[in-house]
Chain A
Amino acid sequence: MNRTIEMSNDKQHAGIQPRTANDIERHKRNIRTAWAIGLFALLVMLTSIPFWQGLYRIATSAN
């Protein structure tokens, strides 16, 4: 995979460059987990707040 080659050329990454199939699998899992938590944070912001309700109100009450 392109991505992996690019990472191994990156000096700063040398310490954690994926070396084995296991490492690559872990790298993917890290990114998957990160997205899951990030989307959850977004969900928290969007749902816990009557933000869209208010936006809806301006959107419908204008003119």
Chain B
Amino acid sequence: MSTATLAPANDHEHHGPPRGMRRWLMSTNHKDIGTMYLIFALVMLFLGGASAMLIRAELFMPGLQLLEPDLYNNLVTNHALIMIFGAVMPAAAGLANWMIPLMIGAPDMALPRMNNLSFWILPAAATMLMLSFVVPFFPGGGSQINTGWTLYPPLSLQVGMSMDFLIFAIHLLGISSVLASINIIVTIFNMRAPGMNLMQMPIFVWTWLVTAFLLILVVPVLAGGVTMLLFDRHFGTSFFNAAGGGDPVLFQHLFWFFGHPEVYVLILPSFGVLASIIPTFARKPLFGYKSLVGSMIAIMFIGMVVWAHHQYTIGMSLAAVSYFMIGTIIISIPVGLMVFNYIATMWRGSMTFETPMLFAVAILLMFSFGGLTGIMLAVVPADMQYHDSMFVVAHFHYVLLPGAVFGLFAGVFYWLPKWTGNMYDERLAKIFFWINVIGFNLTFFPQHFLGLAGMPRRIIDYNIMFTEFNMVSSVGAMIFGLSHLLLLYIIIKTIRGGKPASARVWEGANGLEWELPSPPPFHSWTTAPQIK
């Protein structure tokens, strides 16, 4: 890994941040924009969490208690979209904004004004998304979005105007992520400190480079797909309308061409966080740097050609189905390789288990479990049984919460002292970790059994034979959901004060970001560090 020598700062730059609202509305500073992304993501996490807890409250018992079916499905749709586009992606973008310039010795992102635009599109998009949820409750507002986040036609062609709000929200979200991706790629290509070549960059930076390319390759396809929906809905086209000679399955292909790579978009930045955390707390260099980079690139390419494993039941030819099955199973090799590299990094290290490391270990265990159920689902004849059951829900929550969300939590704990200059409360953070992880497993483990026993997903009611596991799951969900209030408390407490953090923060930490004071000055690396 690279080391740096600090050059004296240029004294023209000794000014603080601008004051008042201007600082945030007009910000071109990567740290401030990173902070805004993270705060936005936290707000969305609570909104998405509220919808999840309503869903689980309804499913506590068979029969209808709190909700009616359309509202239930509207909540399911809204929950997924908020979590994916509002919470996980913006939080990862927040980490990218904060950390990439610090890690590569750049003074800021390459295109600071565009950075401002990428962020400020998000609140507008979130407003549209929330409107798509509430519009049906107004007179003349039309029907609720009962399609789930996959928005399959023909149902999505029949939903009222709330679907148009949603399509517009997706357009905005897409523009925001493409702009952010462009910025990240340009920053990584053009702004590295002199002497740092691509193969010396921290893996976190690499994960974001690959993620940004993936986004550029797939988000425009989703944008095109929902635009075609919009045209079918309002302008008389028949892309997906069988009566007009179109094909609803075409939408599924377009959606999953985006949707499967999207899951790697969600996990890769968090895997990058792990590549920072594990060497620090194992006090050993990262194992297999090159194979990690190779795995990611393999994941990017293979990940783009396996999408139809989400559509085994549409009646593809045997050849097509076999191809997608084999491709899907092959992709678990590079994914597994990344996990193995992290385990090898820990092997015989002098490990300590501060909260980021606790999360890292838990992530590897639980994510691997989700990977295994993924392989079960990849097997065509098996998936004919599991498809659209709670088993799929269990699978993707086991990969997504550990693989994406917990990785982001780990990153926040790892870098919070760097950002704020204060140590977080380790005791509280450990309590949060345990409640969070236990709550998570209580919620989602029983869903495997429910799915295998035949409980379908996205249905408000269920057969009484499923009651017990659903009760466990719902109790777990309340514990899991409420535990995030503790996270919020810990973060606020750390921002307000705490034991001052040193520049390096963690004994075993390596990398340019730790050469700067905690918190780093408003403008850092105005003189590029020398990489030796």
Interface residues of A (CB under 8 A from B): 10-16, 26, 29-31, 33-34, 37-38, 40-42, 44-46, 48-51, 54-55, 57-58
Q: Is the CB of B111 within 8 A of A42?
A: no
| 5 residue pairs, one from A and one from B, having the closest CB atoms | A15-B523, A45-B220, A49-B224, A30-B110, A44-B220
B residues 167-226 in Cβ contact with A at 8 Å:
178, 181-183, 185-186, 189-191, 216-217, 219-221, 223-225
Q: Which of A34, A46, A51, A57 is B228 in contact with, Cβ under 8 Å?
A: A51
Partner of B221 from the list A48, A54, A55 (CB cut-off 8 Å) is A48
- In the complex, are the beta carbons of B526 and A15 less than 8 A apart? yes
Pick the contact of A34 from B108, B183, B217, B237 — CB < 8 Å? Answer: B183
Tell me the bound Cα distance from A54 to B237 in angstroms.
7
> Total interface residues on B, using CB and 8 Å?
46
Nearest residue (CB) in A for B254 is A49
- Asked if B26 lies at the interface with its beta carbon under 8 angstroms from chain A, I say yes
B523 adjacent to A29 (CB under 8 Å)? no
The answer to whether A45 touches B224 (Cβ under 8 A) is yes
CB closest residue in chain B, given A13: B28
Q: What is the interface of chain A mostly: helix, strand, loop, or mixed? A: helix
B341-375: CB near A (< 8 Å → 1, else 0) gives 00000000000000000000000000000000000
Say whether, besides A14-B523, A34-B186, A45 and B223 are in contact (CB < 8 Å).
yes
Return the chain B residue nearest A48 by Cβ.
B221
Q: Is B114 an interface residue (CB 8 A)?
A: yes
Instruction: Give the Cβ gap from A45 to chain B, nearest Cβ, in Å.
Output: 3
Give the residues from 309 to 356 in chain B that come closer than 8 angstroms, CB to CB, to chain A: none
Q: Are A58 and B183 in contact (CB under 8 A)?
A: no
B10-18, B274-282, B441-449: which lies at the interface: B10-18
Interface pairs (19), CB distance under 8 Å? A14-B12, A15-B29, A15-B522, A15-B524, A16-B523, A29-B190, A30-B190, A33-B189, A34-B183, A37-B181, A41-B178, A41-B220, A44-B217, A45-B220, A46-B224, A50-B250, A51-B227, A54-B231, A55-B237
**Across the interface, do B13 and A12 meet the contact criterion of CB distance under 8 Å?**
no
Find the B residue at minimum CB distance from A29: B190
CB distance from A54 to the nearest CB of B (A): 5
CB-CB nearest in chain A for B183: A34
Min CB distance B376 to A, Å, is 31
A35 to chain B, nearest CB (A): 9
Pick from A13, A16, A26, A40: contact of B190, CB below 8 A. A26
- Number of interchain pairs (Cβ within 8 Å): 96
Measured CA separation A1–B378 after assembly (Å) = 58
Q: Which residue from chain A places its CB closest to the CB of B221 in the assembled complex?
A: A48
B140 at the interface (CB under 8 A from A): no
Q: Quick check: A41 and B228 within 8 Å, CB to CB?
A: no
Contact A30–B111 (Cβ < 8 Å): yes
CB of B519 within 8 Å of the partner chain: no
| Nearest Cβ on chain A to B118's Cβ, whole angstroms | 12
* Cα A54 to Cα B239 with chains together (Å): 7
**Shortest Cβ distance from A17 into chain B, in angstroms?**
9
Closest chain A residue to B114 by CB distance?
Answer: A34
Interface check B27, CB cutoff 8 A: yes
A12 adjacent to B28 (CB under 8 Å): yes
Residues of A within 8 A of B114 (CB): 34
B236 engages A58 (CB within 8 Å): yes
Closest to A23 in B: B107
Chain A's closest residue to B238 (CB) is A54
Q: Are A15 and B108 in contact (CB under 8 A)?
A: yes
B13 and A44 within 8 A (CB): no
Minimum C-beta distance from B474 to chain A (A): 41
How many Å lie between the Cα of A34 and that of B220 in the bound state?
16
* Contact, CB under 8 Å: B224 / A51: yes
Instruction: Add 17 more A-B contacts to A12-B27, A49-B224, A58-B236 (CB < 8 A).
Output: A12-B18, A12-B26, A13-B28, A14-B13, A14-B523, A15-B522, A15-B524, A16-B112, A30-B191, A33-B110, A34-B182, A34-B186, A40-B216, A41-B219, A42-B220, A50-B250, A54-B239
- Find out whether the CB atom of B220 lies under 8 angstroms from the CB atom of A48: yes
Q: Which residues of B contact A54 (CB under 8 A)?
A: 228, 231, 237-239
A13-B112 contact given A37-B182, A49-B221, A49-B228, CB 8 Å threshold: yes
Contacts of A40 in B (CB 8 A): 216
Residues of B within 8 Å of A13, CB to CB, are 28, 112
Using known A-B contacts A49-B221, A51-B228, A58-B236, determine if residue A34 contacts B110 with beta carbons closer than 8 Å.
yes
Q: Chain A residues with Cβ under 8 A from B178's Cβ?
A: 38, 41
Verify A31–B111 contact, CB threshold 8 A. Answer: yes
Chain A min CB distance to B303 (Å):
15
Contact B182 A41 (CB under 8 A): yes
* Residue among B29, B114, B220 with the highest chain A CB neighbour number at 10 A: B220
A48 to B524, CA, bound (A): 41
Q: Which residues of B contact A48 (CB under 8 A)?
A: 220-221, 224, 257
